[in-house]
Amino acid sequence: NAGVTQTPKFQVLKTGQSMTLQCAQDMNHEYMSWYRQDPGMGLRLIHYSVGAGITDQGEVPNGYNVSRSTTEDFPLRLLSAAPSQTSVYFCASRNSGNTIYFGEGSWLTVV
Amino acid sequence: AQSVTQLDSHVSVSEGTPVLLRCNYSSSYSPSLFWYVQHPNKGLQLLLKYTSAATLVKGINGFEAEFKKSETSFHLTKPSAHMSDAAEYFCVVSVGGSQGNLIFGKGTKLSVKP
């Protein structure tokens, strides 16, 4: 049972490049979400999904896209990376008992 | 709307002394409340959660928290700090059950002195 798996763990991008952060869970959870963590800010919600085919915006969605074609996968796309997107990104899923499972994080630097 | 305020950005204690990390919340509905811990360069680990059962919640590693509705607080405590407790702690509120979004506090960094 792998839980929530995020890849890559570390990435350096140039301004303007695009990339996708992958997130997969093997627990059959309907709810999945992406957060970014910045110093002194806690975690802020980027996008979330309550099931396959359903996504919605969180607190800080600009510059990011998501899709949910399967229950297992919830990729986060950076369309044109900016230095302000340098952050640590966490994917999470939640079960019906309201227990949340986080991935190990993805450290992204945009230069 | 719901919100979470962690009252201290940094707490420093000596090993063997009690730990108190303070959290106040604001919610129009009955919230679920969580405490998470994050060690440097690591992911988040659930310490404990409150979901309208017993108001005193026991978690892992000797931590516990008490839900006080009248004070809208959910403070995290531990009787005796250990060096391995040094980390950042996040108080989190959720409204709407398993479909509700999480609102994170800004975190409290706990330092433990030998």
Give the DSSP letter of residue B100: S
Nearest residue in B to A107, CA atom: B41
Q: Considering only CB atoms, which chain A residues are within 8 Å of B49?
A: 98-99
User: CB–CB of A77/A63 below 8 Å?
Assistant: no
With tokens 């303007």, the residue in question is A16
Residue A21 pLDDT > 70:
yes
pLDDT, one tens digit per residue, over A45-89 is 999 999 999 999 999 999 999 999 999 999 999 999 999 999 999
pLDDT of the residue at A2: 66
When computed from its CA atoms, the radius of gyration of chain A, rounded to whole angstroms, is 13
pLDDT of the residue at B59: 94
List Cβ neighbours of A95 (8 Å cut-off, separation of 6 or more): A27, A29, A101, B98
pLDDT of the residue at B73: 95
pLDDT of the residue at B99: 62
Give the pLDDT band of residue A1 (cuts 50, 70, 90). low
pLDDT of the residue at A18: 96
Give the DSSP letter of residue A97: T
Name the range with the highest mean pLDDT among A18-22, A101-105, B32-36, B90-94.
Answer: A18-22
Backbone φ and ψ for A8, nearest 5 degrees, come out as -80, 170
Inter-chain residue contact A45 with B99, CB threshold 8 Å: no
Q: Considering only CB atoms, which chain B residues are within 8 Å of A102?
A: 43-44
Inter-chain residue contact A96 with B51, CB threshold 8 Å: no
Cis bond before residue A83 (omega within 30° of 0): no
Backbone φ and ψ for B85, nearest 5 degrees, come out as -80, -10
Q: Which amino acid belongs to residue A100? A: I
pLDDT of the residue at B96: 67
Give the pLDDT band of residue B16 (cuts 50, 70, 90). very high
pLDDT, one tens digit per residue, over A28-47 is 999 999 999 998 888 999 99
Give the dihedral of Cα atoms A108, B3, B9, B13; nearest 10 deg: -120
* Alpha-carbon gap, residue B111 to B87, rounded angstroms: 7
pLDDT, one tens digit per residue, over B25-83 is 988 777 889 999 999 888 899 999 988 778 899 999 999 999 998 999 999 999 999 99
Pair of tokens at residue B14: 């000596």
